[in-house]
């Protein structure tokens, strides 16, 4: 699982517990101006194919974590429970998308939208 925090200018995604090992990451810092949107990702997280894993972990029904490549796009995943999956779309970043599990998807969406508005992030606000 991950937690998210926002500052005046950044979205900070912290990978928790053993997921740091499975995902090969402990933290991602993204400028709010690079956040293009966010949405629930339960349906996407339930699918079997997430792309080519490098590096990462995929145990169907248990965890999808790490870096995945699909159709020339790079995504970071850390999801156990698809119902708590959130997709954050990015621009001008190493990753095109983050698909992460959070405790409360609605609260995370609201937090990201608010932070982007406060930062004056140029793109469309994250979608609920």
User: What confidence tens digit (pLDDT) does each residue in 95-104 have?
Assistant: 999 999 999 9
Fold of 2-119: PH-domain like (2.30.29)
- Give pLDDT, residue 35: 96
- Give pLDDT, residue 79: 98
CB 24 within 8 A of CB 55: yes
Q: Is the pTM of this model over 0.85?
A: yes
CB 9 within 8 A of CB 119: yes
Phi first, then psi: give them for residue 46, nearest 5 degrees.
-75, -20
How many residues would you count in the chain?
Answer: 128
Domain ranges of the chain: 2-119
Place of tokens 């928790």: 16
pLDDT at 15 over 90: yes
Cα distance between residue 16 and residue 23, in whole Å:
10
Give pLDDT tens digits for 36-95. 999 999 999 999 999 999 999 999 989 999 999 999 999 999 999 999 999 999 999 999
CA proximity to 46, closest of 72, 84, 96, 20:
84
Cα distance between residue 83 and residue 85, in whole Å:
6
């Amino acid at each position: 699982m991950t937690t998210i925090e926002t500052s005046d200018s950044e979205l900070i995604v912290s990978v928790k517990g053993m997921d740091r090992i499975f995902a090969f990451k402990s933290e991602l810092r993204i400028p709010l101006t690079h956040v293009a949107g966010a949405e629930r990702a339960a349906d996407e997280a339930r699918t079997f194919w997430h792309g080519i894993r490098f590096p990462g972990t995929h145990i169907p029904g248990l965890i999808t974590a790490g870096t995945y490549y699909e159709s020339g796009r790079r995504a970071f995943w850390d999801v156990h429970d698809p119902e708590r999956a959130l997709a954050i779309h990015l621009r001008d970043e190493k990753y095109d998308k983050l698909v992460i599990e959070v405790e409360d998807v609605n609260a995370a969406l609201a937090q990201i939208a608010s932070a982007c508005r406060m930062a004056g992030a140029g793109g469309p606000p994250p979608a609920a």
